Structure 1
Amino acid sequence: MRYAFLLVATLVPFGVVLAEDPDFYAHWGDGKAELSSYKVVQPRYGELRSGYGVLVFVTEDINRETFIKVESPTPAKDRLYVLKLNNMLKFNTGIYDYSVMTSVFSAVEGLQGNRSFELCKITLSAQEWCGHVFEEVQMRQGRLQGALNSYFEREGRQRYELPAAGSFASEDHLLILVRELRGPILAAGEEQVVQLLPALWQLRALHRPRDLVQARLAKGHEERIEVGGDSLAAIPWRLATEGREKTIWVERAYPRRILAWRDSAGGRGELLVTLREPYWQLQSNVDEAFRARLQIP
């Protein structure tokens, strides 16, 4: 792949939607999910590991109070229409394997109906042969309320609370925001200083405390990158914190898929295949053919 990035520093209010894309409900309200598979390289224990990832984007209703999926008759006023991202990562470390899933729930019309794509909740589950970890973070009245439950003694059970007003951003949530599905959040060449909650998997893998760090998020100018033998127009987004940088390339054309990413630790991912299917209905043995189409084991 060929990468380039131009950074111009201009501060703008983070998360301001400049124009609404009229295609959102027509595209995302079709009763299907977007399934994108990726060839992934993941750093772990001082070495780079080959693996694969799947990003699942789908809309659904959750309960406004509990942030849990609605599966029973619930009045419209008690529902939130969200875009959910399930971010799956699979890789091996020697004899044993890792299975990591991060779920992000983003309110399409905002929590109060005044801003698109506000974060509701993030959950992380990580499993390997030693044990497993579950973590949940919810947005409550401008603050993050987190709970960590881990097999490992040094992590154990933790409860924490962090401020999340103003320039707050979540690295996990950025995979939704940078797609700009209802209009741009930054103009090309602009940059925003944010108070960042790093990706929950990043915090888990590096055994870092749950805290916000100052970061710079910048939107680059359109460029072309090679993905799977195709040359695609892409918008690069750069996230920089002290000692760490990450770039995400987003397809220029709607629905603006995540094409690739790369970080300064050697981690990277490249799009393999995108399908649009109601995956929850594809449960038969014959439906394993869809895994072959996604080029995943």
Structure 2
Amino acid sequence: MDKIDIKAYKANPNTVIGDYATKDNLNASEKELKKALKRIRKDLGDFQDTLYAHAKYNVLICLQGMDTAGKDSLIREVFKDFNVRGVVVHSFKVPTELELKHDFLWRHYIALPARGKFGVFNRTHYENVLVTRVHPEYILNENIPGIDSVKDVDEKFWDHRFQDINEFEQHLARNGTIIFKFFLHLSKNEQRNRLLRRLDKPNKNWKFSPGDLKEREEWDEYLQCYQEAVQRTTKPHAPWYIVPADDKNASRLIVATILWETLIKFKDIEEPELDEKIMANLGSYREQLEKEK
């Protein structure tokens, strides 16, 4: 199996998404990929226990990608060995009536993980510069002062929205949130194959929507919007990673490796030591419990 170089997937302000591969099986079999993931997700689960005891950091993982990119299954497989109380997943859908009465970041802010926990955003605050950019008419539902028609949703509007996102993430990072942002880079042909499988499998039919085909027609525009979002918001404290998604087993292992190799660099995250008085009396506590027999 090829060694995973996490720097190869890290984006920069000049990133061209089309230059990144959509498929990489790491020269490994499906069995080898699953075995490697099993090892690393156990390490991540143990790390989360330490993170919880340390209680000064939290981890936010943002997953974006075209429909069928494999976000749901990645979450299931990468976080399988976590204490269920240590990871919280939020799947953001169309904003509710209540959410539309607040600014676009509100519903994401209140879903952030507490210190000591991992939070996974399945689709994220970036939908507000992706779907809404392809369909600017959706912005009118937000009832923003001065935005009365689609023509008011101009480049200045998007500049402000990118600025809001960058400031939001900077604020989080300053307060102990370790941020990862992953774009699961799927090819258009592989999406076609996965949509066909949804139609062929009765237990997958519920995932299919005719709207998937309509959005597929906007593929190139979505890809351009993703590229600009990545270029304008990848930062040292909130980096984007472009992960090939045509091979699900490989993409899961790549994401898990990026998480693990980054998190272990936080040398200050360690389990706290017991209070000296408690430590000095461990023997008496043990004796007290043993007497209960």
Could you state the TM-score of these two structures normalised by the residue count of structure 1?
0.26
Q: Which has the higher contact order (CA 8 A, sep 6+)?
A: 2
Could you state the TM-score of these two structures normalised by the residue count of structure 2?
0.27
Higher helix share: 2
Higher strand share: 1
The higher radius of gyration belongs to 2
